[in-house]
A and B are shown apart, each in its own frame.
Chain A
Amino acid sequence: MVYFQKCKVIIWGAAIFLCLGAFCDKHGLIWAASAEKLVISSAVLCEDVQERQPLYEGVVFSIGIGKIFCYTLFDPVPEKTHITHNWYNRDNLTTKIKLSLQPPRWTTYSAIQLRESDKGPWRVEITDSEGRILQVLRFSVTE
C-alpha cells in the first residue's frame, strides 16, 4: 500500500514537471534549470585591445588613429556558438565579422581599418547566431 502511494506521488510529480516544461517552451520562458541565455556583459568601442581589455573607450574617434575596435565580453556563454559584428557607415553595411564564443565566459573583438572616406556616423550591430540583435553601439569617425 505504502509502495503504491509512493509510485502515485512520483507519477504526479513527473506529470506536473512535463506540463510546466511544455508551457515554458511554448511561451519562450527560460527554464533556469535546463538552459542559460547568452548575455553581453560588456560591449564598447575602443582604440585598442590589450590583454583582453579595451583601451581608450569612446564614442568619437579621430580618423588619425587608423583602426577602431569593437570589444565584447559575454558572460555567461551557455554553449559553443558564434556572434557577428556588423559595421554600418550611415546605414550602409560595410563590414561583417563572425566571431566564435566558448562557454562559460568569452571575450572577443573585431576591428576595422579607417580610411579618409569613413568619416561620419557609424554603428555596430552585435547579432547572435540566429541574426537577433543583441546590442547596438553607435560612434562617429571625425577628423
Chain B
Amino acid sequence: MDGFLIFLQSIRWQDVVDITLCSYILFRCYVIFRITKAFRILIGLAFLWIFQRLAVSIGLIVTSWVIQGITAVAALIIIVVFRNEIRSVLQVKNIKTLFWGLPQQPFHTPVQIIANSVMDLARKRIGALIVFPGKEDINEKIQNGILWDGAISKEMITSIFWEDNPVHDGAIIIEGDRIHEVGVILPLSHRQELPSYYGTRHRAAVGLAESTDSLIVVVSEERGTVQIVKGFTITPMLKKDDLEKHLQQHLGLVIKDPSGQKKEKNEIRLAAMVAVIFITSVWFTIARGLDSLVTFEIPIEYMNRNPGMEILDASVNSIKIQLAGSVPLTRALRPDHVRVKIDLGKSVVGQNIYTITNENISLPPGIFIKSFNPAVVDVTLDVPDKKNLPVQVDWTGKLPENLRMEKVTIEPSIVQIIGGRQLLNNINTAYTEKIPLESIQSSRTIIVNLALSPASLKVAPGFKDKITVECSVK
C-alpha cells in the first residue's frame, strides 16, 4: 500500500498530460480511420509490430529482422495502395472534425431520386450506365470522362442518357449529391461466361465492378431491365425499393436503429479505453521501467559559494551513481544529463561536511537513483591570500661518489604564492620539482618548475614560475 502511495506521489502532472495527449491522438486515429479499409490493415500492422517486439524480447534475432522488414514494407504498401482513401479522410473541409466528433459523410446522395430516374429510364427503354464509386480510386480504370459536376435530378439523369445527347453512350459517375463526370468509358470485362445477350454496356459495368469496389447500375436499352453489378455479382432489380436499399447499403446511408447507435457508442467508448490502457502501458514500459541499470561518475557542482572564499580541498570531486530506468531511457542517458549539486551558501572557512541526498542529484524523467557513493563530501574553504615564500630545491637520487654539492644559488629566491589563507599559514617554503642528482656531473645551471601542493596554490602574477638553479659541485 505504501509502495502504491509512493508511486502515486512520484507521478508528475507532465506524466498525466503525456498519457492523456497520446491516448487522445491514438483514439482520434481510430475514430478517423475506422470507416476505411486501411484501418484493418493498420491493425494488422500494429500486431506485426507487437510480434516484432516480442521476438526481440525473447531473442529471436532473425525472426525479429524479418518481421521488422515486413512491417516496413507493409507500411509503405499501405500508404501507396490506400493513398486516396487516406487523403480523402484527411482532406476535410472543417479541420475541427480531425480533433472532435465522429466523421460523417458530408453529402448524402439522393438515392430516391436516382432510383426513380433509373426505373423511369428502364420503362422508357433508355439505356444507362451509372457508377457509384466505393472507397477505391477508379480514375486509373476509366477514360475520357467529361467533367459535369451537376446537381442530381430526375430530369438531368434522363437528359444525359437521352439518345440525342452526345454523351449518352458513356457512363456517369455519381459522387455525393453531384453527377461528377459523364461520357465515361469503362474497362470491358473479358469474362467468357457472361450471357451472350450482354452488350457493351453490361460488359463495361462488369469490367469496372470486377476491378474496383464500385457499384454500377445498368439499364438495358433492349430489355428495359435494371441490374446492379458489384464485384463479380450481377443482381437484377425488379423493384425500386430493392434498388434504393442496395444503393443505400453501398453508400453507407443505412439509417441505424437505436440499438445500432448504442452499439456504435459502446464501440467508441471501448476504443477510448483501449487507447488509454495501451498508451499507459507503453508509458510505463518507457518511462517507469526499471529493468536496466547504468553507472556514471558525475562531477560535483558546488553552488552559491561565497565569492570571498575559495574551495581549497574536497574529499571527492565526483560521485559514482547507479541509475535505474527502462532500456530506451538508460540507453539515451548521457553523463551530462545527470547533475550533482552541493549548496555552499551556508559554508564557513575551514572544513565543511555535506551529506549527499537524492535532492542533491537531478535526473531526467523516468530515471531513478539506485545507489551512490560516497554519501559524504568534505569540502574545505578558505579566504584567498598572498604570501612570499623562499624557494628551496628538492633534490632526489644520489650524487656521484666523488662529488660534493657545496653551494646552490636560486633565482628567484623568493616567490609570491596565491592561495587560501589557512593553507598559506602552514606553508613556509616553495619547493621545486624534484631534480635528479644522477644527472649532475659538474657545476651547472638547471631550470626547473615549482611543485606547488595542493594544486589550488598558484604563483602570483609578475613572479616567475620557472626557477633557475645554479649548483656548484666539487
Contacts and interface: CB of A to CB of B under 8 A. Distances in A.
* Binding partners A and B: yes
Interface of A: 56-60, 62, 88, 90-91, 120-121, 123, 136, 138, 140, 142-143
Contacts of A121: 392-395, 429, 431
B397 A91 contact: no
B398 interface: yes
Interface residues on B, range: 20 to 34
A58 B394 CA distance: 15
A120 B395 CA distance: 7
13 contacts: A58-B404, A59-B406, A60-B395, A62-B398, A91-B427, A91-B429, A121-B392, A123-B392, A123-B429, A136-B390, A142-B397, A142-B437, A143-B398
Nearest to A141: B395
Interface in B220-262: none
A58 B437 CA distance: 14
B428 interface: yes
A97 B329 CA distance: 69
B396 A142 contact: yes
Nearest to A136: B390
A138 B409 CA distance: 11
Contacts of B272: none
Q: Top 3 nearest A-B pairs by Cβ distance?
A: A140-B395, A60-B405, A143-B398
B26 interface: no
Given A56-B404, A60-B437, A138-B392, 19 more contacts: A58-B404, A58-B406, A59-B406, A60-B399, A60-B405, A62-B398, A91-B428, A91-B429, A120-B394, A121-B392, A121-B393, A121-B395, A121-B429, A121-B431, A123-B429, A138-B408, A140-B395, A142-B395, A142-B397
Contacts of A58: 404-406
A115 to B, nearest CB: 17
Contacts of B428: 88, 91
A91 B404 CA distance: 25
Contacts of B407: 59
A91 B406 contact: no
Contact of B406 (A57, A62, A140, A143): A57
A57 B404 CA distance: 9
Nearest to A142: B395
Contact of A91 (B393, B396, B426, B437): B426
B398 A59 contact: no
Interface string B111-154: 00000000000000000000000000000000000000000000
B399 A142 contact: yes
Contacts of A143: 396-398
Given A120-B394, A121-B394, A138-B392, A59 B408 contact: yes
A142 B393 CA distance: 12
Contact of B405 (A59, A90, A120, A123): A59
Given A59-B406, A60-B437, A142 B429 contact: no
Interface in B337-395: 390, 392-395
Contacts of A59: 405-408
Nearest to B391: A138
A48 to B, nearest CB: 13
B413 to A, nearest CB: 10
Contacts of A123: 392, 429
B446 to A, nearest CB: 13
Contacts of B408: 59, 138
A92 B336 CA distance: 43
A91 B390 CA distance: 12
A98 to B, nearest CB: 21
B448 to A, nearest CB: 13
A59 B394 CA distance: 11
A59 B428 CA distance: 19
Contacts of A120: 394
A32 B108 CA distance: 130
A136 B404 CA distance: 21
Nearest to A120: B394
Interface in B428-468: 428-429, 431, 437
Nearest to B401: A62
Most chain A CB within a 10 A radius of its CB, from B397, B406, B427: B406
Contacts of A57: 406
A54 to B, nearest CB: 12
Contacts of B392: 121, 123, 138
Given A59-B405, A59-B407, A62-B399, A140 B393 contact: yes
Most chain A CB within a 10 A radius of its CB, from B395, B398, B426: B395
